[in-house]
Amino acid sequence: MIVEKHMLVLFGSTGDLTRRKILPALYSLFEKGTLTRQCPIVCFGRQELTTEEFVKGLDLEKYLKKYDQEILLRFFRQLQYVRLDLRNFDSATLKQQLHRIATAYQAGANKLFYLALPPGVFGQAVNVIQQFVDDDGWYRVVFEKPFGQDRQSAQKLNDEIRKVLDEEQIYRVDHYLGKELVQNIFTLRFHNEIFKWVWHKDAIDHVQIIASESLGVEDRAGYYDKSGAVRDMVQNHLLQLLSLVAMEPPSGYDEQSIRDATGKVMQKLRPVKKDDVVLGQYEGYVDAKGVDPHSTTETFAAFRVFIDSPRWQGVPFYLKTGKKLNERYADIKVVFKHDRELCRQGDCDQPNVIVIRIQPDDGIGIAFNVRSPENESITESVLMDFCHHCYFGPNTPEAYESILVNVMQGEATVFPRWDWIDASWTFIDQFLVVAEQPLLYTKGSTGPVESNELLIQDGRNWLHGEMSPESSKLKRSVLRPLSVLR
């Protein structure tokens, strides 16, 4: 696949995100031939640097999983560093500089602006972009998260950028939506008859959505301490996963219909109650460099939420995320109802579970009961397992590659629209008002014990109990590709 020729203009090119995610993704697209020589990458930065100095300072090799030296050198030739002070720039000179680069690479007039910047300077960057809106060709503008700090600031930001940009030109990134297994939630639900008919309250007992991280805040304390887990992970990634799991079948498979359907989920979220939320902070967080020693910022959040729609009436959705936990993984477990009374000789059937493993080990598992050959009066729960990379190979694109290709193709489905952002912040603002102070938890644990208790009270022993596919009762088997079945 080759994308249309265009110039990619990167704001914040000396930052961490550029080095860790954006440039590695662009390198990979260049290596695959998706990005051609006619797609130069203009890197804006405040420092006085030559392109050679900029490239050297990137130390990009460190951030690439694998690379070919010769292709990497060619990729570096796609980069052009341009010094830019957002508050004080000369429009004519800047236009000339970009024009010269576009001509040298025969890139044409299309422009993709990527704002890898803190939201506080989005407005200034949009002023720069405004200089180019009358050019021929398309232009699209990518905004990194966070999009606002609360509903009010998000609204203000949106109003500011909408003065210059139409909604169709705005791409608000949520990199979780670029992950292969996240994109598969839609496919699983709407391209499989066997799941379509059971995806509702009569069949589903509850849903768990977990993004557990083993790392701490590392060197991002300056940002994180003002944000916390709820704004950093829940408002965007976790609520997006919830939207995909819970959305109604869209009226069509086009971008607008799908975004209409996910937007409606946010509008139907019931405000949480105090007792449905547990926030936590890992021990030692306040000692990290850049963190306020008296900080009450949460590094963990677990909560239960309901969706007020006929499909989901009474079905709890449990969401959890945290830093410095025992394991790094993200998954969704759709746990089906089962007859808790139907126990034979004290051994009860396990519920059916669909596990969507986002990372690591991306894949989908289905737990179901089989007869135990050793003791015919009991059943055993086994996991039929689809391993994505075993089937499709390890080369599925990284989330950022997929995000970038979508923008380059003008495909906006995987980018939250303003109505979604607006409703998600409304939910989060209320959430943060009712939530109590974070409870301390030990590093390497599963979070504050209270978070498990909260949910066990429900009679649903989530996370580490009987329903967890990681539990020893559940044996894993492998789902083979259909082609080998006779």
**Hey, which residues are catalytic here?**
237
Minimum distance from CB of 232 to ligand BG6 (Å)? 5
Tokens, residue 451: 């978070």
| Cβ distance to ligand BG6 smaller for residue 39 or 217 | 217
29 vs 114: CA distance, rounded Å: 16
- Short-list 7, 74, 64, CA closest to 38: 7
Helix/strand/coil (H, E, C) string of 52-102?
HHHHHHHCHHHHCCCCCHHHHHHHHCCEEEEECCCCCCCHHHHHHHHHHHH
> Count of residues binding ligand BG6 (CB under 6 A)?
3
Residues 160-199, one symbol each (x = binds ligand BG6 by CB under 6 A, - = not), give ----------------------------------------
Minimum distance from CB of 247 to ligand BG6 (Å)? 22
SS3 329: strand
Residues 218-257, one symbol each (x = binds ligand BG6 by CB under 6 A, - = not), give --------------x-------------------------
Contact 471/314 with Cβ under 8 angstroms? no
Minimum distance from CB of 25 to ligand BG6 (Å)? 12
Consecutive H or E run containing 304: strand 300-305
Contact 302/210 with Cβ under 8 angstroms? no
Phi first, then psi: what are they for 45, rounded to 5°? -155, 160
Residue recorded with tokens 């936590």: 280
- Short-list 210, 474, 187, 211, CA closest to 352: 474
| Cβ distance to ligand BG6 smaller for residue 232 or 276 | 232
For residue 168, the Cα-to-chain-centroid distance in whole angstroms is 21
| Cβ distance to ligand BG6 smaller for residue 21 or 111 | 21
Minimum distance from CB of 158 to ligand BG6 (Å)? 20
| Cβ distance to ligand BG6 smaller for residue 11 or 312 | 11
364 vs 479: CA distance, rounded Å: 10
Residues 300-339, one symbol each (x = binds ligand BG6 by CB under 6 A, - = not), give ------------------------------x---------
Minimum distance from CB of 213 to ligand BG6 (Å)? 5
Minimum distance from CB of 358 to ligand BG6 (Å)? 8
DSSP label at residue 445 = B
Residue recorded with tokens 């050297």: 56
Minimum distance from CB of 17 to ligand BG6 (Å)? 9
Task: Please enumerate in sequence order all residues whose Cβ is within 8 A of that of 183, keeping only pairs 6 or more positions apart, or say none.
Answer: 177, 402, 414
79 vs 82: CA distance, rounded Å: 10
- Short-list 402, 445, 451, CA closest to 25: 402
238 vs 165: CA distance, rounded Å: 27
For residue 408, the Cα-to-chain-centroid distance in whole angstroms is 19
| Cβ distance to ligand BG6 smaller for residue 232 or 362 | 232
Minimum distance from CB of 420 to ligand BG6 (Å)? 16
Which listed residue (14, 40, 171, 213) binds ligand BG6 by CB under 6 A?
213
160 vs 126: CA distance, rounded Å: 9
Q: Determine, following the binding rule CB under 6 A, whether residue 362 of this chain makes contact with ligand BG6.
A: no
Residue in the shown chain whose Cβ atom is closest to ligand BG6: 232
SS3 405: helix
Contacts to ligand BG6 by CB under 6 A: 213, 232, 330
